[in-house]
Structure 1
Amino acid sequence: MAAGSFGVAHLDKSVALSVDGNASSLHVFGSTVGDALEKKGITVGEHDQVTPSVGSPISDGDTISVRYGRKLTVTVDGVTKEYWTTATTVDAALRDLDIRAGSNAKLSASRSQALGREGLALTVTTPKSFSVVVDKKTLAFTTNVGTVGEALAEAGVKYDRNDRVTPAANAPLTRGLAIAVQRVTTGLTTSTQRIAFATVTKKDATLLEGTRKVVTEGKAGVRRTTVRNTMLDGKLVTVRPLTIRVVTAPVSRVVAVGTKARPVAPKPAPRATAPRASAPAPSAGNTSGAGINLSNAAMWDRIAQCESGGNWSINTGNGYYGGLQFDIRTWLGAGGGDFASRADLASRAEQITVANRVYADRGLQPWGCGHAA
């Protein structure tokens, strides 16, 4: 009986246990650290620290230490890393992991905060120098805030939603960052512009072919435009039209173009002409040698001014020629071939001579500008 009692007593061991610094004791009949932990209902994982190791033998009076691992997710100045630590406070974990977070660093949790087995996500923002270019000035600051917007607020730089901030206000603040704040202003400008009028032609059977008459004078219109101007630091960068309104519509210029056929003059009988060499110098209102007849010369000058602007050699390619705008048929029919094949190739005196021949037969009816006589 005494020997049996000695054997049981020899197998029973008194062990001290510390779990995350909390001390307790237990009696265990097992032979290893793992046996003692099992009796206490303690399960450990790969990130937990057990001293001595789980497989180590134990003796009466030994001390077993268990420190549970905690997952710590640390973001330092925007860079995130994951760690495992057995520290039980934030400050101890930072020292244990050699994470540099000096006294000037800003932490998202208190340094003395307990670190539970569930772990913790911690943000560390270290002091950073940065510069701001605003209102044509460059300013320098140091702060431990995390974003551009927070840095500007701490620096006292004000801006509104229209201003342009580069990098964006929600961008992370990095060491040596240069921030630009550009002032954006807008304004409206209204101006008027001239609207050119169009020219419209219409056929008129009451006017002779080749005759043009202005029926309605053209008139330019007026357009009013309102635009939005956007200025960046006082410089114009965009102009966007907002409204375009026609204040006065343009009036088209209407020109009537004659389509009435010109009558054909009968071919005159051959007439005797004196040799040019013996003809006296022609004078207005008289018939002279070589068939030249300058009667009504002043009248024909007025009509020519209306028909061709007084250009006796005009040829616009419209089928009418010379100062009095003869067509080929009328010119040759009235003997113009005595002088030239077309009126524009003949002299003023020769054109007036042929005009007098037509006038003698048909009056001023062939000329659209006969009213200028």
Structure 2
Amino acid sequence: MPGHLDGWSPVQFSTRTRNPFARSRAASPAPGEGTPTEQTAPHPGVAASPTAAKGPRSGRARIVPVVAAATVLVLAGGTAAFAKAQKSVTLDVDGEVTHLSTFAGSVEGLLDDQDVRVGDRDVVSASGGLTEGAEVVVRHAHQVTVALDGTEKVVWTTALTADEALDSFASRADSVALVASRSAAGGRPEMALDLTLHGPADVVVDGAVLPAPDADVRVAQLLGELGVTLSPLDRVSVRHGDSGRVQVVVNRVVVQDVTSTQAVPFASTTQPDPARYTDQRRTLTVGVPGVRTVTETVTLVDGVETTRVPVSDQVTQAPVDEVVGVGTKTRPAAAPQAPAASTGTPVAAGGDADGLNWAALARCESGGNPTIVSGNGKYHGLYQFSVGTWQAVGGSGLPSQASADEQTARAKMLYNRSGAGQWPVCGKNLFS
């Protein structure tokens, strides 16, 4: 007889066979042959009644009991095969447990009968022959996003719950978290796994830890019950806390464009100035710094900057280069001068200059400070001499290093030579 793993089953044959234990009545005899007799086909292993053997029998009468006995044996074997082919098993598909009876002879046949499809990454607890009381467990693989030490990866897992998945990834990194995606409708946090939280959990959000009661709820439902509202860019993840409790972590994410400006330094060039001596310089064009505008996209997670990506970088205001005129005339030899300031002897200027208000001029030019130097370093002392002009009236060193008396004497010399026009703004004070 074919085996139970073949496509043919003795059960089908037995269901079409007449019951071998049914009673049958013999045909009525012809007149004068005797009284009719009722017979029951003997059960295999049980002897026939002695009365059944009495009286003469024809050849056909002797064949019938043999055929009946053979039929009983075949049907009895089919009944035993029927009982052996039907079995009670348990099928667990991704946590959905079904107790069923089946005629399948193999695990593969059972899955095919129940329309359970298994892929290369899926896991089945058994294969081959199917026995009475077998438990077949099927776990389909899911793709999930997991953060391992802060680096996100998409991986496959057959875990059914967050706890199970976190435990399975624990050996891969010191820090493990499952990262939820956000649904297009309503922005609810979703994962490929069943994220039902069993037992107590904590929600970490906005610097606070919100305990959740013992309940079987999904993450999105838990956040809703606690009144946690998510903005479009917020992130939700599930991890194990230091205490071992499951934590649902909400990270507030803000992405914004930040614009800043930076100064662009100006260049400095020189050009010849034939109207001035070689030791004289003057600024022809004042330098002005330019402006550089930089725009960057900055991502903040819980208020802490995590990334900064340049968007644009351009000079929005060009700098103005400084132009300095440098004298080209050769200065004539200087006439003998009065004793140096170091001797303490003031220079006598004489002439009309002696009667002018030099104190008023000094207050206007320098505030009356003989050691003052202008911000650009070009003008010195009470009357803001340039070094070149100071030397032209016989001074040595820097004007701001000379005594106040020498500075006044040489200012009078300059007035006698060139007039009050040497001080175009404050010169009028000489006549006050």
Normalising by structure 2, we get a TM-score of 0.39
TM-score by length of 1: 0.44
> Greater RCO between the two (CA within 8 Å, min separation 6)?
1
Q: Which has the higher helix share?
A: 2
